[in-house]
């Protein structure tokens, strides 16, 4: 039975914020050190220490923002340790991730230089758990003030112009690694910290409160109740975060990223789809306090989380990827797009060598490989700042272990140049999906069609076979008058552009 999709091309809805397609880079394992950062003296081509091939790959997917320095690391990070001459910076133990020595070689100046090289907005996560409001206030001033002692210090360290960093997280997972606080205690702390995290002239801030994980609606309720209406009436928070990881078998992760069967595939799809319910729940709570959706839901950590690759440091969270993760990424991004009235920032965890990365690098600055998730992020770049189009679908609902998910998931948007992009995935690992698609009010003219699929579900991109899975032209698509027909192979993703 084909799946019928109708894209209502003449009914553009809300803008899909480009920041939904952001990434996250933590001082964890080989994400920053020996991942993005190779150092200025490395043989690996780099610009001021940042690996050029990786920067180019992130530019290619039009990465809109990058969250840093954590994660759990953020609430143990003291920004002053990462400025000034590199050789004089303190060496600390990274207690969260493998107990390795953190050299602080990458600090504020280096990270903000990376963002300028990529052309993305920085999203800095401040320390609430072990820091103070004064420390966070000073970091904002150091980055954003045009004058004063902290601006002078910044200039002495090589940067005269303020960076005007807009996106600031006020803590991370403060119910856990960020201080083990109760919702009520954190809400108070948030109000205290947010008071001092100030706007500077021409540098208004977007403050994101540390949010819930999964379906902890109580946490969201308390933050909205306490911080939405600030002391002078306006919201004290522009965003409230949410973290959701797909962990087959739950924490601690025990299932490897590869070598799974159809059951293992279905578990990931079903767990992936659960974030739809979670977002609905958090939206309903937020709507009660903020019906105009002034405060965004910021899903600033999401992705798959498996057992680490054999022989790698368990604290480094290095995992491989297959087409299953690419379909999970497509499914998740479709959910974010469907909730784009409220979900306006999201960050895939993490950029390189950690969890569901878009790239992997060989140890010691060796070869680089792009993962299938990188291809998906490339497909979805077309939706950045476009207007969502309603999609009507009669896709079957699949069931697994008491959970449900759609057999085919699709989203569509209208860009400023009047082109329509449809992104869709077949979540079934065993059966192809026959699709018929109609664009109401338009005769479909396909300007580009691409497919990401893999004959063997467990294939990975490796350093020896770097593009074993790679997007390719989707040749089997047919246009017949007003109807488009296509057959998606089992477990595949497609992107269709209509002029
Ligand atoms: O992304 C890895 C870790 O997962 C982050 O540091 C933390 O915020 C989350 O628990």
402 shares a domain with 331? no
Evaluate: CB of 72 within 6 angstroms of ligand 1.
Answer: yes
Q: Is the CB of residue 222 less than 8 Å from the CB of residue 183?
A: yes
CA of 159 to the centre of ligand 1 (A): 31
252 and 396 assigned to the same domain = no
Query: 423 and 295, same structural domain?
Result: no
Is residue 482 a contact partner of residue 431, using CB atoms and an 8 Å limit?
Answer: no
Cβ of residue 349 lying under 6 Å from some atom of ligand 1: yes
Question: ∠ CA 220-224-226 to the nearest 5 degrees?
Answer: 120
Q: Residue 285: pLDDT band by 50, 70, 90 thresholds? A: very high
Q: Dihedral, CA atoms, 260, 264, 269, 271, nearest 10 degrees? A: -130
Residue nearest to atom 9 of ligand 1 (CA): 71
Among the candidates 385, 400, 424, a domain finishes at 385
Distance of CA 30 from the midpoint of ligand 1 (Å): 14
Annotated catalytic residues are 173, 301
pLDDT of residue 426: 98
Residue 334 Cα, ligand 1 centroid: separation in angstroms?
23
Q: How far does residue 13's CA lie from ligand 1's centre (Å)?
A: 33
> Could you tell me the two tokens for 487?
């057959």
Examine the domain organization and report whether 288 and 435 are in the same domain: no
How far apart (Å, rounded) are the C-alpha atoms in residues 241 and 210?
5
Q: Is 26 in the pocket of ligand 1 (CB under 6 A)?
A: yes
Q: Which of 385, 410, 427 is where one domain is finished? A: 385
In a domain, 178, yes or no: yes
Give me the mean pLDDT over the 469-489 stretch. 95
Task: Give the Cα-Cα-Cα angle 114, 119, 120 (nearest 5 degrees).
Answer: 80
Q: Does the CB atom of residue 70 touch ligand 1 within 6 A?
A: yes
Q: How far is the CA of 191 from the centre of ligand 1 (A)?
A: 23
pLDDT > 70: what percent of the chain?
Answer: 100
Same domain, 323 and 446: no
Of 73, 19, 17, 32, nearest to 357 by C-alpha is 32
In a domain, 13, yes or no: no
pLDDT in tens, 324-337: 999 999 999 999 99
Query: pLDDT averaged over the chain?
Result: 97
CATH number, domain of 423, equals: 2.60.40.1180
Cα 71 to averaged position of ligand 1 atoms, centre (Å): 5
Domains identified in the chain, total number? 2
Q: Does residue 288 lie within any of the structural domains?
A: yes
Question: What is the structure's pLDDT at 16?
Answer: 98
Picking from 319, 353, 385, the residue at the C-terminal end of a domain is: 385
Nearest CA to ligand 1 atom 5: 71
Q: Which 3-state string (H, E, C) describes the chain?
A: CCEEEEECCCCCCCECCHHHHEEECCCCCCCCECCCECCCCCCCCEECCEEHHHHHHHHHCCCCEEEECCCHHHHHCCHHHHCCCHHHCCCEECCCCCCCEECCCCCHHHHHHHHHHHCCEEEEEECCCCCCHHHHHHHHHHHHCCCCHHHHHHHHCCCCCCCCCCEEEECCCCCCCCCCCCHHHHHHHHHHHHHHCCCECCECCEEEEEEEECCCHHHHHHHHHHHCCCCCCCCCCCEEEEEEEECCCCCCCCCCCCCCCHHHHHHHHHHHHHHHHHHHHHHHHHHHHCCCCCCEEEEEEEEECCCCCCCCCHHHCCCCCCHHHHHHHHHHHHHHHHCCCCEEEEEEECCECCCCCCEEECCCCCCEEECHHHHHHHHHHHHCCCEEECEEECCCEEEECCEEEECEEEEEEECCCCCEEEEEEECCCCCCEEEEEEECCCCCCEEEEEEECCCCCCCCCCCCCCCCCCCEECCCCEEECCEEEEEECCCEEEEEEEC
Residue 234 has pLDDT above 80, yes or no: no
Q: Which of 23, 72, 354 to mutate to test the pocket of ligand 1 (most atoms within 8 A of CB)?
A: 72
Ligand 1 atom with least separation from CA of 97: 6
Residue having the nearest C-alpha atom to atom 6 of ligand 1: 71
Domain assignment present for 292:
yes
* Ligand 1 in reach of 25 Cβ (< 6 A): no
Residue 409's domain comprises 3-8+390-498
pLDDT tens digits, residue range 308-317?
A: 999 999 999 9
Instruction: Identify the residue whose C-alpha is closest to ligand 1 atom 2.
Output: 71
- Range in 27-31, 80-84, 227-231, 429-433 the model is least confident about: 227-231
Q: Quick one: pLDDT at residue 1?
A: 84
The residue contributing the CA closest to ligand 1 atom 7 is 71
Whether 25 contacts 350, CB under 8 Å: yes
Q: Is the CB of residue 71 below 6 angstroms from any atom belonging to ligand 1?
A: yes
Does the pLDDT value for residue 232 go beyond 90? Answer: no
Structural contact between residues 421 and 229, judged by C-beta atoms closer than 8 angstroms: no
Strands 121-126 and 65-68: parallel
% the chain with pLDDT above 90: 97
Q: Evaluate whether residue 56 is within a structural domain.
A: yes
Cα distance between residue 260 and residue 264, in whole Å = 5
Nearest atom of ligand 1 to the alpha carbon of 72: 6
Question: Do residue 173 and residue 133 come from a single domain?
Answer: yes
Q: Tens of pLDDT along 246-275?
A: 999 999 999 999 999 999 999 999 999 999
Decide if 147 is inside a domain. Answer: yes
Q: Distance (Å, rounded) from C-alpha 329 to C-alpha 20? A: 12
299: Cα within 13 Å, side-chain hemisphere: 29
- Residues 394 and 372 grouped into a single domain: no
**To test ligand 1's pocket by mutation, which of 26, 32, 95, 318 has the most ligand atoms within 8 angstroms of CB?**
26
Tell whether 361 and 404 lie within a shared domain.
no
Torsion angles phi and psi, residue 284, rounded to 5: -60, -40
Whether 301 is in the pocket of ligand 1, judged by its Cβ within 6 Å, is: yes
**Residue 94 Cα to ligand 1 middle (Å):** 13
Q: What angle do CA 390, 394, 399 make, to 5 degrees?
A: 115
Which ligand 1 atom is the nearest neighbour of the CA of 172?
8
Q: Is the pTM of this model over 0.85?
A: yes
| 131 and 255 assigned to the same domain | yes
Distance CA 299, CA 343 (A): 7
**Comparing C-alpha atoms, which of 69, 124, 78 is closest to residue 97?**
69
In a domain, 424, yes or no: yes
pLDDT confidence band for 230 (50 / 70 / 90) = confident
Q: How far apart are CA 259 and CA 458, in angstroms?
A: 6
| Residues 346 and 475 reside in one and the same domain | no
Looking at the predicted structure, is the pLDDT value of residue 233 above 90?
no
Mutate to test the pocket of ligand 1, among 24, 95, 98, 173 (most ligand atoms within 8 A of CB): 173
Instruction: Based on the fold, state whether residues 79 and 56 are members of the same structural domain.
Output: yes
Q: Is the pLDDT of residue 235 over 90?
A: no
Distance from the alpha carbon of residue 72 to the mean position of ligand 1, in angstroms: 6
Q: State the CATH number of the domain containing residue 150.
A: 3.20.20.80
Domain check: are 269 and 312 in the same one? yes
**Residue 71: inside a domain, yes or no?**
yes
What is the distance between the alpha carbons of residues 397 and 374, in angstroms, rounded to a whole number? Answer: 27
The preferred substitution site among 35, 71, 351 for testing ligand 1, maximizing ligand atoms within 8 Å of CB, is 71
């Amino acid at each position: 039975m084909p799946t019928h999709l109708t894209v209502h091309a003449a009914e553009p809805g809300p803008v899909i914020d480009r920041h939904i397609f952001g990434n996250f880079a933590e001082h964890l394992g080989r994400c920053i050190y020996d991942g993005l950062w190779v150092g200025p003296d490395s043989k690996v081509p780099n610009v001021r220490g940042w690996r050029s091939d990786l920067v180019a790959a992130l530019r290619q997917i039009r990465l809109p923002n990058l969250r840093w320095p954590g994660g759990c690391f953020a609430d143990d990070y003291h920004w002053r340790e990462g400025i000034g001459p590199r050789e004089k910076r303190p060496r600390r133990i990274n207690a969260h991730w493998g107990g390795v020595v953190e050299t602080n070689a990458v600090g504020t100046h280096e990270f903000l230089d990376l963002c300028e090289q990529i052309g993305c907005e920085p999203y800095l996560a401040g320390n609430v758990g072990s820091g103070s409001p004064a420390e966070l206030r000073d970091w904002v001033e150091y980055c954003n003030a045009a004058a004063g002692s902290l601006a002078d210090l910044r200039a002495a360290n090589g940067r005269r112009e303020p960076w005007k960093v807009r996106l600031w997280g006020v803590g991370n997972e403060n119910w856990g690694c960020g201080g083990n606080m109760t919702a009520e205690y954190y809400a108070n702390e948030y109000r205290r910290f947010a008071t001092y995290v100030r706007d500077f002239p021409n540098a208004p801030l977007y403050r994101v409160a540390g949010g819930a994980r999964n379906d902890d609606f109580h946490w969201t309720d308390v933050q909205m109740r306490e911080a939405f209406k600030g002391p002078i009436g306006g919201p004290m928070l522009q965003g409230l975060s949410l973290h959701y990881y797909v962990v087959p078998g739950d924490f601690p992760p025990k299932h490897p990223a590869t070598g799974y069967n159809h059951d293992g595939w279905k578990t990931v799809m079903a767990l992936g789809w659960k974030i739809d319910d979670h977002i609905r729940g958090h939206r309903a709570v937020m709507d009660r306090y903020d019906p105009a959706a002034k405060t965004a839901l910021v899903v600033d950590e999401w992705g798959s989380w498996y057992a680490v690759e054999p022989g790698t440091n368990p604290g480094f969270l290095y995992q491989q990827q297959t087409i299953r993760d690419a379909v999970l990424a497509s499914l998740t991004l479709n959910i974010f797009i469907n909730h784009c009235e409220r979900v306006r920032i999201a960050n895939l965890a993490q950029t390189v060598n950690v969890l569901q990365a878009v790239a992997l690098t060989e140890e010691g600055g060796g070869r680089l490989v792009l993962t299938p998730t990188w291809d998906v992020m490339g497909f979805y770049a077309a939706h950045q700042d476009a207007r969502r189009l309603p999609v009507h679908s009669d896709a079957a609902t699949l069931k697994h272990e008491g959970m449900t998910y759609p057999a085919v998931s699709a989203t569509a948007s209208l860009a400023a140049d009047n082109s329509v992009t449809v992104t869709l995935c077949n979540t079934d690992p065993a059966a192809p999906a026959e699709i018929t698609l109609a664009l109401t009010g338009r005769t479909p003219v396909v300007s580009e069609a691409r497919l990401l699929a893999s004959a063997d579900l467990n294939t990975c991109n490796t350093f020896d076979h770097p593009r074993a899975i790679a997007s390719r032209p989707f040749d089997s698509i047919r246009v017949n008058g007003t109807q488009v027909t296509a057959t998606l192979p089992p477990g595949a993703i497609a992107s269709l552009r209509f002029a």
